[in-house]
Amino acid sequence: FILVGGGIWVAVTLAYDVPGGVPEILRVTREAGHLNIIQMVPSLTEMTLFVVMVSYFIQFLHDYGVDQVTVQRLMATPTLRGMAKATVVNSIISVFVVGLLAFIGLGLYAYVNVGHHSFPESLKRDEIFPFYIIHALPPGISGLVITGVFAAAMSSVDSGINSLSTIVVNDFVKPLRTRKLDEGSDVLLARILTVVFGSFAIGVAFFASTIGDMIKTTQGFLGAFSGPILALFLLGILTKRANFKGWLVGMIATVSLIMWLQKNTEVHFVYYFPITTFGTMVVGYLMSCLIGPAPPSSYPNPEPSDV
């Protein structure tokens, strides 16, 4: 609530600080070419509306279908109807937040070019928004907005770390160990893993400060890891001949392609997720057909308690 409310406050403040308000913000950004995204003609080097719709549809399909954090939250909902309501409400809020952040970005551009304000030249692009929050909003409001940003980030990080430790314990440790332990031992191991993964995340956060373009890097990681996971999910649902070895070959091939595209071409980062998803599906299915199906004995029969 604080994060969304703070975003609305920032948007209103920007509209007030820019002479001419919202119409002037739209005029200036349109003349600068920042609204070219509305063009429906796809381009490999520019972010257009068609490309954004396709790319983020695939990302939302991953978020609500195979993302471990989202799945665990939905599984905690008592009824299927409750899951459906939560998904619909969250989707609507997500679209609103994305639109709100897009307007704030346009407003910040107009704030500098029309309002004759300036930001320190040493600021990176992902540091401009926090700088504006701290220096342009009233002291109490700026503190609440920054708190909301940190709270939202922490809730996402701790959910991911908890999901990761749970996966390691249930999908790796339990099947491989030779003797059965009580539930308390599993909980203790999960807590230890949470500390380990959390410490690793802190180290990565320090390293992230040296990265130039955080958005492009994030999209690259999403394409490299989340795209193939979604492809595995879709191959399992839509095909009968796909197998793990074929998917693994497809993942390696498409991740290698993304790394090459990042280094040697100007392909826009919004394409990374669709490329790895569909590329892994196509290559994975073809390789599965060449490799052939796995023997029936390799598919374990799950216990009712595991389903």
Mean of pLDDT values over 270-275: 88
Considering the domain boundaries, does residue 151 fall inside one? no
- Arithmetic mean of pLDDT, 25-40: 78
Where a domain ends, among 137, 155, 189? 137
**Mean model confidence pLDDT for the chain:** 83
Q: Is residue 200 part of a domain?
A: no
Residue 116 lies in a domain: yes
Residues 128 and 218 in one domain: no
| Tens digits of residue pLDDT in 83-136 | 889 888 988 888 888 889 889 989 998 888 876 677 887 777 777 888 888 888
- Which of 40-49, 59-68, 221-230, 287-296 has the weakest average pLDDT? 40-49
Q: Please state, as a whole number, how many other Cβ atoms lie within 10 Å of the Cβ of residue 25.
A: 22
- How far is it, in rounded angstroms, from Cα 23 to Cα 97? 21
Alpha carbon 232 to chain centroid, angstroms = 18
For residue 197, being part of any structural domain is answered with no
pLDDT at residue 212 in the model: 65
Residue 269 CB partners (closer than 8 Å, separation 6+): 215, 216, 219, 220, 223, 262
**pTM of the predicted model as reported, rounded to 2 decimal places:** 0.75
pLDDT at residue 178, rounded to an integer = 75
Please choose, from the candidates 206, 278, 281, 196, the residue with its C-alpha nearest in 3D space to the C-alpha of residue 236.
281
Please tell me whether residues 115 and 239 are part of one structural domain. Answer: no
Residue 304 belongs to a domain:
no
Number of domains in the chain: 2
Count CA within 13 A, CB hemisphere, residue 231.
32
Burial 218-248 (b: 16+ CB within 10 A, else e): ebbebbbebbbbbbbbbbeeeeeebbeebbe
Q: Please give the pLDDT value at position 37.
A: 64
pLDDT at 307: 42
Q: Which of 77, 109, 137 is at the close of a domain?
A: 137
- How many whole angstroms separate alpha carbon 31 and alpha carbon 113? 12
Residues 115, 6 share a domain: yes
Tokens of 169: 């314990």
Instruction: Please say if the pLDDT value at position 306 is more than 50.
Output: no
Confidence at residue 56, expressed as pLDDT on a 0 to 100 scale: 82
Query: Which tokens belong to 239?
Result: 């095909």
SS3 220: helix
- Split at pLDDT 50, 70, 90, the class of 301 is low
User: For residue 304, what pLDDT band results from cuts at 50, 70 and 90?
Assistant: very low
Overall average pLDDT of the 35-52 stretch: 72
- In this predicted structure, the answer to whether residue 303 has a pLDDT above a threshold of 70 is no
- Looking at the fold, whether 133 and 262 belong to one and the same domain comes out as no
Domain extent, residue 268, equals 213-298
Domain boundary among 118, 137, 156: 137
**d(Cα 130, Cα 128) in Å, to the nearest integer?**
6
Q: Give a yes or no: residue 223 inside a domain.
A: yes
Residue of higher predicted confidence among 1 and 167: 167
